[in-house]
């Protein structure tokens, strides 16, 4: 979440804020997430951010998933994007690689320039778009509450302070408000299709009633204030316990231990290229030091810290006078920081509370130790939700009974990865697959499929279960077509799945339709394993 970097330099700044090999015999295990109820059918999005507009100071992201004043109030551009987008340097840089550029700031009702699959600061998850995805088969949506203190600090406009826990509390409140709003539209409390769930049994009941089970997660860089400055941790065990208890009370059931910057709990998996340079500057500002890397000696490795391109001036000016980016030893690179003693305490605390441990964004050293802890306890509650973990760890995740959802790549890339990882799922008898779209996470949504003229998605098409006939998505005066626009917003996810069906046939859709069941089995295993630490 959050903040999944694209491979282009354009997505670099966004991450200032902000997968296979057979397992060794020692790690092989029988999955413990045995079926406990009648299977559900439907898709799972393991990683998105409906309420990130309330993060990063509240001025970076434009538009909302709902507003009491209606769509005309919800889908408006940021004030600093007017009159023609030339002052929207963050939007421009993440979209084109240059801080200069223009766009039409008008949202509703024309939507000439946004939302778009490659526009990262404009709202992608208006609730009627999420509703279309639900009608098209989505049954589990993991909504990560997100925060990043450094991204908040560098953006000059803000409505709020940069405290990460305060941002998480706001977003949890907005999630409940959206549920209430949809209930009111449906006729009263409990009648809406959007249901925040606290345990897998409740999720099964919700899905059985034909509704969307929404799981709250957290993806933040300094959970509970656990930053680290010059090696000195900024939190204690008592602080971690209080933070985990508060998150659990808010309804959070899944969490990242670290994200983008090293913190007092663990070291992170690096970003590469210009975006890596930008995030590395953020690590300096957050911790007092750049990333520390060594040449890896094992098969697992973090992303390579490549020679950087030119930093945007808005970022370069943040470097202290006379300080430049460091040189690193030969690749492959591994973060020298792993899971700290406080990090182990946090992971054990999550296990005691039956929470899902998100393995993405951890350095290989941290992820390896985390999986050691989970394996020693026989704890299945581990997830890789958006392709930000070393592929070598996927076998260990599956062996535990964990769940993998792939980042929302374009159709060809997603299908290729689904095929490549199929033998692992067969080996560990995992019934389904999922996607982590990272919507509103400052990562690109799936682009239109290149060379698609020979096999276009034909409208209208029928949903995977035959229950819905879906024509082109229209909002206001704008009509979108996945063949041309890709996944311009969350409402086009069913179209993207139909596009992948054309490439891969019904087997892929069958696996995706078993994704919600796989996720619930993992969550049930975590719930049964609560207290194993």
On whether residue 160 sits in a domain, the answer given is yes
Residue-wise pLDDT tens digits, 153-187: 888 899 999 999 999 999 999 999 999 999 999 99
Q: Please report, for residues 134, 369, 375, 379, the alpha-carbon distance to residue 26 in angstroms, rounded to integers and kept in the order given.
A: 40, 14, 10, 16
The confidence score (pLDDT) of residue 275 equals 75
Residue 26 has what pLDDT? 33
Whether the predicted pLDDT of 28 surpasses 60: no
pLDDT for the residue numbered 308: 62
User: Over 25-87, what HEC string results?
Assistant: HHHCCCCCCCCCCCCCCCEEEEEECCCHHHCHHHCCCECCCCCCCCHHHHCCCCHHHCCCCCC
Domain residues for 161?
Answer: 9-127+135-528
Residue 207 lies in a domain: yes
Q: Region 135-144: what's the mean pLDDT?
A: 98
In a domain, 311, yes or no: yes
Of 12-16, 119-123, 475-479, the one with minimum mean pLDDT is: 12-16
Q: What's the rounded Cα separation, in Å, for the pair 324 and 314? A: 15
Q: How many domains does the chain have?
A: 1
pLDDT by residue (tens digit) across 483-517? 999 999 999 999 999 999 999 999 999 999 999 99
- Cis (ω within 30 of 0) for the bond into 109? yes
Q: Give the separation between CA 175 and CA 345, rounded to whole angstroms.
A: 29
User: Does residue 204 fall inside a structural domain?
Assistant: yes
Q: Give all strands (DSSP E) within 285-330, no chain letters.
A: 293-295
* Residue 319 confidence (pLDDT) above 60: yes
In a domain, 3, yes or no: no
Instruction: Assign 13 a pLDDT band (cuts: 50, 70, 90).
Output: very low
Which of the two residues, 511 and 26, has the higher pLDDT score? Answer: 511
The more confidently predicted of residues 95 and 314 is 95
- Roughly how many angstroms between the first and final C-alpha of the chain, as a whole number? 26
Confidence class for position 111, pLDDT limits 50, 70, 90: very high
Is the pLDDT at 97 greater than 90, yes or no?
no
Which pLDDT value is given to residue 5?
36
Give the model's pLDDT for residue 355: 98
Percent of the chain at pLDDT > 90 equals: 80
CATH code for position 280: 3.20.20.140
Contact 482, 393 (CB under 8 A): no
Predicted local confidence at residue 532, as pLDDT = 67
14-28, 193-207, 339-353: which has the minimum mean pLDDT? 14-28
Q: What is the mean pLDDT of residues 194-210?
A: 98
The answer to whether residue 142 scores a pLDDT higher than 60 is yes
In a domain, residue 340? The reply is yes
- Is 2 a domain residue? no
Number of other CB atoms surrounding residue 194 within 10 Å: 26
More reliable by pLDDT, 384 or 3: 384
Predicted pLDDT at 25: 30
The label of the residue with tokens 């959802």 reads 405
Q: 33 pLDDT exceeds 70?
A: no
pLDDT at 11: 35
Q: Over 60: is that where the pLDDT of 1 sits? A: no
Q: Which residues contact 421 (CB under 8 A, 6 or more apart)?
A: 20, 394, 404, 406, 433
Confirm whether 328 is domain-assigned. Answer: yes
pLDDT digits (tens, 9 = 90+) for 432-465: 999 999 999 989 999 999 999 999 999 999 999 9
DSSP assignment of 86-149 equals TT-HHHHHHHHSSS--------TTT-SS-S-TT--SB----HHHHHHHHHTTEEEEEEEEEE-H
In percent, the amount of the chain with pLDDT more than 70 equals 92
- pTM over cut 0.85: yes
């Amino acid at each position: 979440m959050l903040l999944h970097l694209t491979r282009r330099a354009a997505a670099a700044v966004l991450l200032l804020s902000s997968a296979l090999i057979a397992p060794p015999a020692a790690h092989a295990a029988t999955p413990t997430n045995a079926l406990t109820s009648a299977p559900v059918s439907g898709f799972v999005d393991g990683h998105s951010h409906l309420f990130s507009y309330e993060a990063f100071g509240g001025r970076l992201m434009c538009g909302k998933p709902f507003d009491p004043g209606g769509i005309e109030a919800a889908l408006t551009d940021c004030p600093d994007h007017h009159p023609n987008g030339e002052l929207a340097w963050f939007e421009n840089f993440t979209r084109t690689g240059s801080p200069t550029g223009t766009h039409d700031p008008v949202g509703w009702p024309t939507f000439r320039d946004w939302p778009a699959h490659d526009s990262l600061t404009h709202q992608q998850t208006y609730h009627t778009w999420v509703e279309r995805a639900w009608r098209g088969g989505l049954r589990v949506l993991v909504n990560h509450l997100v925060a990043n203190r450094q991204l908040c600090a560098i953006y000059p406009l803000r409505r709020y302070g940069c405290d990460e826990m305060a941002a998480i509390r706001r977003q949890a409140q907005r999630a409940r408000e959206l549920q209430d709003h949809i209930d009111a539209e449906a006729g009263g409390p409990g009648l809406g299709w959007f249901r925040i769930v606290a345990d897998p049994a409740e999720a099964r009941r919700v899905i059985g009633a034909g509704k969307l089970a929404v799981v709250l997660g957290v993806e933040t860089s300094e959970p509970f204030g656990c930053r680290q400055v010059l090696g000195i941790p900024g939190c204690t065990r008592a602080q971690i316990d209080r933070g985990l208890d508060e998150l659990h009370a808010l309804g959070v059931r899944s969490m990242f231990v670290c994200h983008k910057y090293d913190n007092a709990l663990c070291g992170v998996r690096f970003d590469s290229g210009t975006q890596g340079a930008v995030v590395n500057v953020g690590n300096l500002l957050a911790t007092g030091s750049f990333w520390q890397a060594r040449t890896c000696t094992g098969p697992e490795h973090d992303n390579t810290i490549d020679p950087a391109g030119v930093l945007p001036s808005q970022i370069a000016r943040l470097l202290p006078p006379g300080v430049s980016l460091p040189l690193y030893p030969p690749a492959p690179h591994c973060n020298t920081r792993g899971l700290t003693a406080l990090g182990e305490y946090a992971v054990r605390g999550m296990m005691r509370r039956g929470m899902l441990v998100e393995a993405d964004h951890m350095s290989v050293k941290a992820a390896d130790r985390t999986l050691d802890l989970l394996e020693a306890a026989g704890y299945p509650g581990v997830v890789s939700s958006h392709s930000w973990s070393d592929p070598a760890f996927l076998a260990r995740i599956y062996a535990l009974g964990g769940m993998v959802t792939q980042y929302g790549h374009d159709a060809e890339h997603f299908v290729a990865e689904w095929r490549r990882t199929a033998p692992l799922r067969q080996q560990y008898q995992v019934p389904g697959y999922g996607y982590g779209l990272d919507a509103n996470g400052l990562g690109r949504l799936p682009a239109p499929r290149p060379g698609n003229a020979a096999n276009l998605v034909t409208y209208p098409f029928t949903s995977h279960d035959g229950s819905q006939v879906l024509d082109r998505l229209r909002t206001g005066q704008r009509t979108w077509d996945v063949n041309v626009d890709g996944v311009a917003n969350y409402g086009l996810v069913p179209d993207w799945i139909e596009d992948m069906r054309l490439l891969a046939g019904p087997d892929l859709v069958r696996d995706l339709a078993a994704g919600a069941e796989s996720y619930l089995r993992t969550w049930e295993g975590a719930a049964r394993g609560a207290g194993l630490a």
